[in-house]
Amino acid sequence: MKKKLLALLMGTSLVMGLAACGGGSDTTKDKNNGGGTDTAQAGDADKIFQQKCSACHGGDLKGGVGPNLTKIGSQLSKDDILATIKNGKGAMPPNLIEGDDANKVADWLSAKK
């Protein structure tokens, strides 16, 4: 019974991890072809965050797999947040958000104090 439960938990963790880190289109390719992406068209930092970050940081910013971001602006500057988005940190992979979308989210998060 314990082996089955452990296997179920491991499988669920793997699926959740893959879902959080992948998916979406290649935004560089879309921009070079003149087309937009859903996040670029949305133009809203909260929507971008919900699409790209909420799986780990929670839809309410209170954390989960990733840290709590409800008051991240009181700890990090916009440039620090942008650097984390671009370079990743810990288990967070780099460049989950790129370009203008990354700037929008960094600006939005830096106001969370």
13 domain residue, yes or no: no
7 domain residue, yes or no: no
Tell me the CATH number at 90: 1.10.760.10
pTM over 0.75: no
| Mean pLDDT across 65-72 | 95
CA angle, 81 then 56 then 19, to 5°: 125
Interaxial angle between packed helices 99-110 and 45-52, expressed in degrees from 0 to 180 and rounded to the nearest 10: 100
22 domain residue, yes or no: no
Question: In whole numbers, what is the pLDDT of the chain averaged over residues?
Answer: 79
9 domain residue, yes or no: no
Domain residue limits at 113: 43-113
28 domain residue, yes or no: no
| Mean pLDDT across 54-58 | 95
61 domain residue, yes or no: yes
Question: What band does 15 get if pLDDT is binned at 50, 70 and 90?
Answer: low
* Least confident range of 36-40, 59-63, 106-110: 36-40
pLDDT score for 41 = 40
37 domain residue, yes or no: no
- CB 23: neighbour CB atoms within 10 A? 10
For the chain, what is the domain count? Answer: 1
